[in-house]
């Protein structure tokens, strides 16, 4: 009964010996409308601010019979204005004879609502590089433009040089002009590919002019005053160089009013003197303060031993003054052992 037919995996019944339309291409003419004209109850950002179109169901049937490879990419041509662009397909839910495209694509193709547009399927190479130019300096206000652009390009399948695509971010529309692309050709596919993106200065962007300071002010900032010579150690000592002053900070009041700085604080903050580089001969060291050498045994400055004995007693047998010769007092009663010794060395007992 089915001897003259083969059942293909694509669920299309073909006569025996007949081959699918392998070399054929999809080419149709539709009336073009913007995506905002679709009878949808809710706003669809992927359709309004993306790069894909909506075709009728009959286009899907024909594309299936042609065994078009995925993703399905199309070339859109306005023959009246000789304008061309490329896009992917989002779904096949449009009315017969109509195609819905994003608003930016209608502006690129110079189309009005209801005009005819030619659509045919194409195969585009995977893109590796694209250079874009924002059409407003407002694009510079985006905190992370790379992440925002990566999220916006997920709704696009192709890019064409000369197209001004639009995307929405934080309830604001941004227009982007495609300047260059690689590889060369009509367009590129950006589906499942690593795309390098380069940014050109936005339209209306002006480079900020550098601030030129007066020569005297620049010299005062960049060339501080050098203090001291390069050979005199005396001029590089800590006492003369830093002029340390303790507690030279400023105070704060609980009422919030500023408290005046003590005398000398302003002068310390305003000084810009920098010590000059000190060059010493080999073998000589400088620590920032005068070094007092240690005196030997023959140069003793201690007092001679006291000639008068008694009184407080002598703390040692040396010639120096006695050390640790004081007597202590306690409020507690002396113990037995301590009481005996103290009675012998203390004042005589009363009779």
The rounded distance, in Å, linking the Cα atoms of 32 and 29 is 9
**Residue environment code for 263-301, b if the CB has 16+ CB neighbours within 10 A, otherwise e:** eeeeeeeeeeeeebeeeeeeeeeeeeeeeeeeeeeeeee
Shortest CA distance to 43 belongs to which of 201, 182, 168, 140? Answer: 168
Residue 113 in any domain: the answer is yes
CATH number at residue 75: 2.40.40.50
Same domain, 70 and 134: no
Residue 183 in any domain: the answer is yes
Among the candidates 122, 152, 170, a domain finishes at 122
Rg of the Cα atoms in the chain? 48
What pLDDT does residue 2 have? 37
pTM metric for this prediction:
0.55
Residue 236 in any domain: the answer is no
Contact 116, 145 (CB under 8 A): no
Q: Rounded to an integer, what is the distance from CA 170 to the centroid of its chain?
A: 21
Sorted by sequence, the CB contacts under 8 Å of residue 79 that are 6+ apart come out as 118
Same domain, 47 and 106: yes
Give 1-44 pLDDT, tens digit per residue: 334 434 333 333 333 333 344 447 899 999 999 988 887 746 77
- Mean pLDDT, the chain, as a whole number? 74
The rounded distance, in Å, linking the Cα atoms of 66 and 292 is 102
What pLDDT does residue 202 have? 92
Give me the residues paired with residue 258 across strands.
252
Same domain, 99 and 173: no
Same domain, 133 and 102: no
Residue 285 in any domain: the answer is no
Residue 76 in any domain: the answer is yes
Same domain, 103 and 176: no
Query: What total number of domains does the chain contain?
Result: 2
Same domain, 108 and 137: no
Mean pLDDT by groups of 10 residues along the chain of 351 residues: 38 38 76 87 76 93 85 93 93 93 92 94 92 92 90 91 91 91 89 90 87 61 60 60 61 68 47 66 74 68 46 48 72 59 47 41
Among the candidates 91, 122, 153, a domain finishes at 122
Same domain, 151 and 97: no
Same domain, 34 and 110: yes
What pLDDT does residue 37 have? 86
Contact 95, 56 (CB under 8 A): yes
What pLDDT does residue 68 have? 80
- Residues composing the chain: 351
Residue 35 in any domain: the answer is yes
What pLDDT does residue 10 have? 37
What pLDDT does residue 38 have? 85
CATH number at residue 144: 3.10.330.10
Residue ranges making up the domain that contains 184: 129-199
């Amino acid at each position: 009964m089915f001897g003259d037919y083969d059942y293909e995996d694509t669920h299309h019944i073909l006569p025996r010996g007949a081959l699918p339309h392998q070399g054929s291409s999809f080419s149709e003419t539709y009336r073009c409308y913007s995506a905002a004209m679709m009878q949808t109850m809710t706003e669809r950002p992927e359709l309004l601010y993306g790069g894909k179109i909506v075709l009728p169901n009959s286009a899907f049937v024909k594309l299936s019979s042609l065994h078009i490879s995925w993703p399905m990419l199309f070339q859109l041509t306005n023959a009246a204005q000789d304008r061309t662009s490329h896009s992917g397909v989002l779904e096949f839910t449009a009315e017969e004879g109509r195609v819905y495209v994003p608003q930016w694509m209608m502006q690129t193709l110079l189309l009005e609502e209801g005009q005819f547009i030619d659509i045919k399927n194409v195969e585009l190479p995977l893109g590796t590089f694209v250079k874009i130019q924002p059409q407003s300096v407002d694009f510079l206000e985006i905190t992370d433009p790379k992440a925002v652009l990566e999220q916006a390009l997920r709704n696009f399948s192709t890019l064409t040089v000369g197209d001004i695509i639009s995307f929405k971010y934080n309830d604001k529309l941004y227009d982007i002009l495609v300047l260059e692309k690689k590889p060369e050709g009509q367009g590129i596919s950006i589906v499942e590919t690593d795309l390098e993106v380069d940014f050109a200065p936005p339209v209306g962007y002006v480079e900020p002019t550098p601030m030129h300071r007066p020569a005297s002010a620049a010299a005062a900032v960049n060339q501080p005053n050098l203090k001291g010579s390069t050979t005199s150690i005396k001029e590089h000592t800590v006492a003369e160089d830093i002029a340390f002053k303790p507690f030279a900070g400023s105070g704060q009041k609980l009422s919030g009013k500023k408290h005046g700085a003590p005398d000398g604080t302003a002068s310390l903050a305003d000084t810009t003197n920098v010590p000059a580089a000190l060059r010493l001969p080999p073998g000589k060291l400088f620590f920032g303060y005068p070094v007092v050498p240690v005196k030997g045994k023959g140069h003793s400055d201690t007092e001679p031993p006291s000639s008068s004995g008694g009184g407080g007693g002598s703390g040692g047998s040396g010639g120096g003054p006695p050390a640790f010769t004081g007597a202590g007092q306690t409020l507690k009663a002396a113990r037995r052992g301590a009481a005996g010794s103290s009675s012998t060395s203390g004042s005589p007992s009363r009779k």
